[in-house]
Structure 1
């Protein structure tokens, strides 16, 4: 058992309600999403992502995507993975969601970098999907993209195209507020999901 596997096994998640029960003292909880908890491994620049019991199959899906895009600088490095976990770079920065809630400017070059990252991933035969404000991070002025499991799905969504259009039509205008309360962003996201329901991931 390597050190990463041991750390992943220390994370105990209730299979019924996905509540976090316990984890190793060398881990710091930094986030939770729709399918996993994410921890920073103390004294490293690495993050451990442990999937909920019902979503463990996504570990291999996401690991396979990361393997195919390791040469692209817009994505984290993959260090290890197992049946229910991944270890990738800990990306220190703010998500686009956090930039909006904090009033941190998002530049046109950031938007262009996302487009380039998407184009490069497509050249590897992937189908970049589920690209939203919380999985794009601005790190030292440059973007990093995380949560890439849906890059292997068959279905294509237009979420990034809609976000990019909103940037140019609204956000980039001088009169548009650059700081937006989280509850408003969450409400918009809720309505968007209701109008654009996604199916479960169907792998190519």
Structure 2
């Protein structure tokens, strides 16, 4: 552990944790984050955890799991298997639901579509290669959607690897690629369309419902057993 990480760990336990409040109200909605102390900035909030950074240590992020939310031990194991790879973050500290990770800079593909920013094919290729690397490390890329992958200087990054131990089949990335090649590249990108947030959220919710319905029907019909 280098000196910057040691100082950051000290700040987390002395300044951040005594003040911040992270609550998970519903497992399918982002956690609620309140009382962020000075010198700390919120980068994002997922369904199980919040991600922040300290202004004096901006090359690292601190991921804090909400109380009672699962997945911390699994995420630590995923980072152990991944090691160091340019398309993934890297873990430098893990304890009591807290991870200190290498910060990945960029913009999510979800936000690119919302803002009308062009997503080159190289981004999709980089993500494909990164997921193949993860499979070579005995991992199972899971829950890869527009908010969990990013673009930085025209290259692709994978942000969230917390579910990479889940062995069940996940088609989110393949579905995203289909949307990219069938709809985004021929229509949205040339016209530089901006898709509003409410419409993207509506698509996300419809996709989730359709996935649950499909899974229920498959279970009833005994498909996939």
Which bin holds the TM-score, normalised by the shorter protein? Answer: 0.7 to 0.9
Q: Any stretches of 5+ residues in structure 1 without a counterpart? A: 200-204
Larger RCO of the pair (alpha carbons < 8 Å, separation 6+): 1
> In the alignment, which residue of structure 1 is the partner of 2:47?
34
- Alpha-carbon RMSD across the aligned residues, in angstroms, is 2.3
Partner of 1:161: 174
The more displaced of 113-122 and 178-187 is: 178-187
- Does residue 9 (structure 1) correspond to residue 17 (structure 2)? The answer is yes
Aligned to 2:90: 77
**1:104 paired residue among 110, 117, 127:** 117
Query: More deviation in 16-25 or 59-68?
Result: 16-25
Q: Which moved more, 1:173-182 or 1:76-85?
A: 173-182
**For residue 28 of structure 2, what is the aligned residue in structure 1?**
none
Matched, 1:194 2:194: no
Within 5 Å, give how 1:21-100 maps onto structure 2: 21-44=34-57, 45-55=59-69, 57-100=70-113
Alpha-carbon distance in 2 for matches of 1:110, 1:129: 18
For the 8 Å contact 1:62–1:147, the answer to whether it is kept is no
> SS of 1:10's equivalent?
coil
Q: Partner of 2:53: helix, strand, or coil? A: strand
User: Which protein is bigger by CA-based radius of gyration?
Assistant: 2
2:199 — aligned with what? 184
* CA distance, structure 2, for counterparts of residue 145 and residue 16 of structure 1: 24
Q: What SS is found at the alignment partner of 2:52?
A: strand
Q: In terms of mean alpha carbon deviation, does 134-143 or 158-167 score higher?
A: 134-143
Q: 1:24 to 1:60 in 2, by over 3 A?
A: farther
Structure 1 segments of 4+ aligned residues over 6 angstroms from their partners? none
TM-score relative to the length of structure 1: 0.87
C-alpha distance in 2 between matches for 1:19 and 1:169: 36
Shift of 1:174: 4.7
Q: Per-residue CA shift, 1:47-75, capped at 9, x if unaligned? A: 111111021x4222112111211232110
- What SS class does the counterpart of residue 89 from structure 2 fall into? coil
The alignment covers a number of residue pairs equal to: 198
Q: Secondary structure at the match of 1:104?
A: coil
- Does the residue aligned with 2:212 lie in a helix, a strand or coil? coil
